[in-house]
């Protein structure tokens, strides 16, 4: 396909998804990987600053409530993968002040955490980042994860049973719970009016108590009175994001999120996904609200297409069945090449730019790129892909000028929401 030389639907939004040493399970063994620094603040600061040098909109940070596993439904015993992680929200709060314009969207698990705690954590992140915070909500449906908390019993799942009506009903319940969770977050962020803090030394009044509001949320999973203990965030409401692969999570994106991440395989599937989300958005009464749909891709980037593919094959070879503990416990096929829920791209920045601009025509507002290996593929994104998109007029050449600190909502073109409790 010939390169496109100009945009037809506005500039792209670009984000990167940060996860350990990269998204390929053998990335930690690359010569330029830094596995001994994965649990240091400096490692994450450097990744975020590299992303900001590329003028990206935001970074997401992966998280979970159980140790990583190749099996989506249970733990494995592999020892040749990165295992263990830091808390995503705490990472974001630590590194955000070391940047100026890029946004931070850490992952928060909705299934076993309390929305009151997460609401004040993300509000705090919005303050320490001067308005550049978001949160990616994620469910946790595994039985072994539930055992960490002892609050509910979740029946074990398997690949073979995932399409059974009872299993699908349980998955739908998890996403309905996530929708209520987001609603509680948004109400708590609004529970302080913007001018609730008076700070009047002469009268001794720090707050106007009439501008703090009980949210009185009553639902199947949560009963939250409020108000929050944290004043309304600088953005009014931080950006809410979610990842979806099918109708049920698409419905959550459509009715509750500001940004949705989806995993198309080509331009046609991207168009079908966007159409489904827009239809669900209309059914939810949000047709007039801004909602960005981003396509997710895992990327191996190099100066030559053959070099990127060769690196992918080398990493696949390293990740094959060299772990006897995994084989002994019957882990997933260790001879299979790396696969992902998202499309895997291996090639040059020019070829990736072709793909992104082609898929953009399906209605995607932007892309969240998952670097296969860090820092290499992140550097290729910022130093090769971004300049290529800039040459085509498809990506910014500087962050937008602002009178004050730029916000993530502003960078994404999302309006600052009015406070639902404030008097007209």
CA distance 57 to 99: 12
Q: Which residue has the tokens 């009178």?
A: 403
As for how many domains the chain has, the answer is 1
Q: Digits of tens for pLDDT over the chain (424 positions)?
A: 333 333 335 689 999 999 999 999 999 999 999 999 999 999 999 999 999 999 999 999 999 988 887 877 678 888 889 999 999 999 999 999 999 999 999 999 999 899 999 999 999 999 999 999 999 999 987 777 777 777 777 777 666 677 788 878 888 999 999 999 999 999 999 999 999 999 999 999 999 999 999 999 999 999 999 999 999 999 999 999 999 999 999 999 999 999 999 999 999 999 999 999 999 999 999 999 999 999 999 999 999 989 999 999 999 999 986 554 544 443 444 568 999 999 999 999 999 999 999 999 999 999 999 999 999 999 999 999 999 999 999 999 999 998 777 999 999 999 999 999 998 5
Alpha-helical runs (H) found in 191-328? 247-256, 267-283, 305-319, 324-328
CA distance 274 to 283: 14
CA distance 206 to 406: 27
Which domain covers residue 336, as residue numbers? 13-412
Q: Is 4 within a domain?
A: no
Give the CATH number of the domain where residue 344 resides. Answer: 3.20.20.30
Q: Is 1 within a domain?
A: no
Q: Are strands 292-301 and 366-371 parallel, antiparallel or unpaired?
A: parallel
Q: Is 424 within a domain?
A: no
Q: Is 28 within a domain?
A: yes
Q: Is 220 within a domain?
A: yes
Cα distances from 199 to residues 190, 203, 204, 305, 402, in angstroms, run 19, 9, 8, 60, 27
Measured on CA atoms in the order 139, 367, 386, 405, is the torsion positive or negative? negative
Q: Is 280 within a domain?
A: yes
> For the packed helices 267-283 and 247-256, what is the interaxial angle rounded to 10 degrees?
50
From the list 126, 358, 140, the residue with the least C-alpha distance to 228 is 126
Q: What pTM was computed for the model?
A: 0.93
Burial of 135 (0-12, 13-18, 19+ CB in 10 A): buried
Q: Is 241 within a domain?
A: yes
Q: Is 279 within a domain?
A: yes
């Amino acid at each position: 396909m010939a390169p496109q030389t100009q945009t037809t639907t506005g500039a792209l939004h670009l984000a990167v998804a940060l996860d350990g040493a990269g998204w390929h399970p053998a990335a930690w063994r690359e010569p330029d990987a830094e596995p001994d620094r994965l649990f240091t603040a400096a490692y994450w600061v450097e990744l975020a600053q590299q992303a900001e040098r590329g003028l990206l909109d935001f970074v997401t940070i992966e998280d979970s409530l159980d140790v990583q596993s190749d099996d989506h439904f249970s733990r494995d015993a592999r020892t040749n993968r990165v295992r263990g992680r830091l808390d995503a929200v705490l990472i974001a709060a630590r590194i955000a002040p070391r940047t100026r314009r890029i946004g931070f969207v850490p992952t928060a698990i909705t299934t076993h955490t309390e929305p009151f705690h997460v609401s004040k954590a993300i509000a705090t992140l919005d303050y320490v980042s001067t308005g550049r915070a978001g949160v990616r909500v994620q469910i946790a449906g595994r039985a072994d994860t539930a055992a960490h908390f002892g609050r509910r019993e979740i029946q074990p799942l398997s690949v073979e049973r995932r399409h059974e009506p009872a299993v699908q009903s349980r998955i739908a319940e998890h996403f309905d719970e996530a929708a209520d969770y987001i609603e509680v977050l948004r109400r708590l962020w609004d529970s302080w009016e913007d001018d609730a803090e008076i700070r009047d030394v002469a009268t001794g009044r720090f707050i106007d108590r009439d501008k703090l509001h009980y949210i009185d949320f009553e639902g199947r999973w949560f009963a939250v009175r409020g108000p929050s203990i944290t004043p309304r965030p600088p953005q009014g409401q931080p950006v809410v994001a979610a990842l979806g692969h099918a109708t049920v999570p698409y419905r959550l994106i459509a009715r509750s999120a500001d940004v949705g991440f989806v995993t198309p395989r080509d331009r046609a599937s991207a168009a079908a996904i966007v159409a489904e989300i827009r239809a669900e958005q209309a059914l939810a009464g949000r047709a007039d609200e801004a909602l960005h749909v981003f396509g997710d891709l895992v990327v191996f980037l190099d100066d030559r297409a053959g070099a990127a593919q060769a690196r992918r094959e080398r990493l696949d070879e390293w990740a094959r069945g060299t772990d006897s503990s995994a084989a002994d416990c019957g882990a997933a096929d260790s001879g299979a090449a790396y696969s992902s829920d998202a499309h895997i791209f291996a090639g040059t920045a020019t070829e990736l730019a072709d793909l992104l601009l082609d898929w953009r025509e399906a209605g995607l507002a932007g892309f969240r790129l998952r670097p296969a290996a860090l820092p290499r593929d992140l550097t290729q994104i910022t130093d090769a892909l971004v300049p290529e998109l800039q040459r085509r007029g498809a990506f910014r050449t500087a962050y937008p000028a602002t009178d004050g600190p730029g916000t993530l909502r502003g960078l994404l073109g999302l309006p600052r929401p009015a406070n639902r409790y404030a008097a007209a």
